[in-house]
């Protein structure tokens, strides 16, 4: 039996071939992720955290998925707008402090409370787990890849040298977030909240007398070139505040990835990656961040244990304000604070 085939019209054949070519091209098209953040390209955050993460996903995807990094707000906007830029698709991925947007990340901000985080590794792992269990509703539209804290806030001054609570009264101090502002207010200082890049100019112009900044942020904004006095807690103790950081992706962009590329993102997300960021990017480099400040002859002052306890007592109300803020939003503030402390204890022990 013969089977007779009728040739397809050339125009239909061409259309089918074009469609096949387009489908093949789409399957193999390189995914380029726009990564936006607020610090310079030379900053520790980009060189030792964002770039290595991007290199790893490029390698594991065989270059089917790569990053295009935009440092120093090159895509426009302000640091406080970064979270919304990820949510709205202006950027595919952002690295930011969510709490630059005041009042929106109340539960997550528990790890910004003073005297709580002993080191960045424990803080970062605890922050990831706490957020996944209790605060995912604060990140709608954004897919968290990893989260971290830094090594803790201390204070840097140009020409002031406070040592006690009494010395802090009336000093204008830069704060990074609302919780940090509440702590400064409790010790009698005048908080001035601003993003990190604004600090050097504000110090130079006398807008603030000092700045609450972690060691990691000092070389990033060349604060080591103008600050000459550094007020810190007793060595090894939890510092006077912290900030929470998010490396997060537009949810729709994440959802649109093919399964194998989504797996690459998933394999480079979560608690272990958060702990890596805290440990290798912050904890292990603190001496490096302090190096130029030591070389320029800065004074490093560590309060004694008795003074440390004075600061803790003076700021007890900051925790209560956080609990009240969570309660007002329908949460169980006291229970969440206990959970946050327990996670810190658990991971600090493992550190």
Residues 319-340 have pLDDT tens digits of 999 999 999 999 999 999 999 9
Two structure tokens written together for 31: 């995914």
What CATH number has the domain bearing residue 76? Answer: 3.40.190.170
* Same domain for 212 and 129: no
* Same domain for 127 and 73: yes
* Same domain for 304 and 271: no
Q: Percent of the chain at pLDDT above 90? A: 91
Tens digits of residue pLDDT in 217-267: 999 999 999 999 999 999 999 999 999 999 999 999 999 999 999 999 999
Alpha-carbon distance of 232 to 300, in angstroms, equals: 8
* Same domain for 258 and 230: no
Confidence class for position 173, pLDDT limits 50, 70, 90: very high
Per-residue pLDDT at 160 exceeds 60: yes
* Same domain for 269 and 190: no
Alpha-carbon distance of 278 to 289, in angstroms, equals: 14
* Same domain for 167 and 80: no
Q: Percent of the chain at pLDDT above 70? A: 92
Predicted confidence at residue 64, as pLDDT, reads: 98
Predicted confidence at residue 351, as pLDDT, reads: 56
Alpha-carbon distance of 74 to 77, in angstroms, equals: 8
* Same domain for 279 and 178: no
- Domain C-terminal end among 283, 313, 340: 283
* Same domain for 92 and 50: yes
Per-residue pLDDT at 21 exceeds 90: no
Per-residue pLDDT at 24 exceeds 70: no
Q: Which domain holds residue 47?
A: 30-150+243-283
Tens digits of residue pLDDT in 108-150: 999 999 999 999 999 999 999 999 999 999 999 999 999 999 9
Cβ atoms of 80 and 195 within 8 Å: the answer is yes
Tens digits of residue pLDDT in 38-82: 999 999 999 999 999 999 999 999 999 999 999 999 999 999 999
Residue 231 lies in a domain: yes
Predicted confidence at residue 350, as pLDDT, reads: 75
Predicted confidence at residue 311, as pLDDT, reads: 98
Residue 184 lies in a domain: yes
Alpha-carbon distance of 343 to 135, in angstroms, equals: 15
- Describe the strand order of the beta sheet including 31-36 as a list of residue ranges: 65-70, 31-36, 93-96, 245-250, 142-148
Which one has a higher pLDDT value, 21 or 115?
115
Q: What is this structure's pTM? A: 0.90
* Same domain for 216 and 198: yes
Per-residue pLDDT at 6 exceeds 60: no
In total, how many domains does the chain have? Answer: 2
Tens digits of residue pLDDT in 93-118: 999 999 999 899 999 999 999 999 99
**For the ranges 12-21, 176-185, 190-199, which has the lowest average pLDDT?**
12-21
Using CA atoms of 39, 44, 50, 56 in order, give the dihedral in degrees to the nearest 10.
160
* Same domain for 204 and 304: yes
* Same domain for 51 and 110: yes
Residue 107 lies in a domain: yes
Q: What SS3 string covers the chain?
A: CCCCCCCCCHHHHHHHHHHHHHHHHHHHCCEEEEEECCCCCCCHHHHHHHHHHHHHHHHHCCCCEEEEEECCCCCCCCHHHHHHHHHHCCCCEEEECHHHCCCCCCCHHHHHCCCCCCCHHHHHHHHHHHHHHHCHHHHCCEEEEEEECCCCEEEEECCCCCCCHHHHCCCEEEECCHHHHHHHHHCCCEEEECCHHHHHHHHHCCCCCEEEEECCHHHHCCHHHCCCEEEECCCCCCCCCCCCEEEEEEHHHHHHCCHHHHHHHHHCCCHHHHHHHHHHHHHHHHHHHHHHHHHCCCEEEECCHHHHHHHHHHCHHHHHHHHHHHHHCCCCHHHHHHHHHHHHHHHHHHC
Predicted confidence at residue 72, as pLDDT, reads: 98
Per-residue pLDDT at 304 exceeds 60: yes
* Same domain for 130 and 195: no
């Amino acid at each position: 039996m013969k089977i007779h085939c009728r040739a397809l019209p050339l125009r239909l054949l061409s259309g089918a071939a074009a469609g096949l070519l387009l489908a093949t091209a789409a399957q193999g098209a390189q995914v380029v992720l726009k990564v936006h953040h607020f610090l310079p390209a030379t900053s520790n955050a980009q060189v030792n955290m964002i770039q290595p993460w991007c290199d790893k996903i490029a390698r594991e995807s065989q270059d089917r998925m790569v990053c295009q990094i935009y440092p120093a707000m090159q895509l426009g906007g302000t640091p406080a707008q970064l979270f919304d830029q990820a949510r709205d698709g202006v950027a595919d991925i952002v690295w930011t402090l969510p709490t630059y947007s005041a009042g929106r990340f109340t539960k997550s901000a528990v790890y910004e409370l003073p005297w709580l985080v002993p080191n960045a590794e424990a803080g970062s792992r605890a922050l990831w787990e706490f957020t996944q269990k209790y605060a995912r509703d604060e990140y709608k539209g954004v897919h968290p890849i990893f989260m971290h804290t830094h090594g803790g806030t201390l204070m840097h001054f140009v020409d002031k040298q406070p040592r006690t609570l009494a010395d802090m009264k009336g000093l204008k101090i830069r704060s990074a977030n609302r919780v940090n502002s509440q702590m400064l207010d409790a010790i009698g200082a005048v908080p001035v909240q601003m993003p990190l890049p604004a600090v050097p100019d504000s110090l130079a112009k006398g807008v603030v007398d000092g700045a609450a900044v972690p060691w990691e942020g000092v070389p990033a904004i060349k604060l080591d070139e103008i600050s000459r006095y550094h007020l810190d807690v007793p060595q090894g103790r939890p510092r006077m505040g912290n900030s929470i950081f998010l490396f997060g992706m537009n949810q729709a962009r994440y959802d649109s990835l093919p399964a194998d590329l989504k797996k690459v993102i998933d394999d480079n997300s979560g608690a272990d990656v958060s702990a890596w960021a805290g440990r290798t990017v912050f904890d292990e480099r603190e001496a490096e961040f302090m190096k130029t400040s030591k070389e320029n002859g800065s004074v490093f002052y560590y309060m004694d244990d008795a003074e440390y306890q004075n600061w803790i007592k003076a700021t007890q109300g900051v925790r209560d304000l956080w609990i009240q803020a969570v309660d007002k939003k329908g949460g169980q503030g006291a229970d969440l604070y206990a959970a946050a402390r327990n996670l810190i204890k658990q991971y600090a022990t493992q550190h």
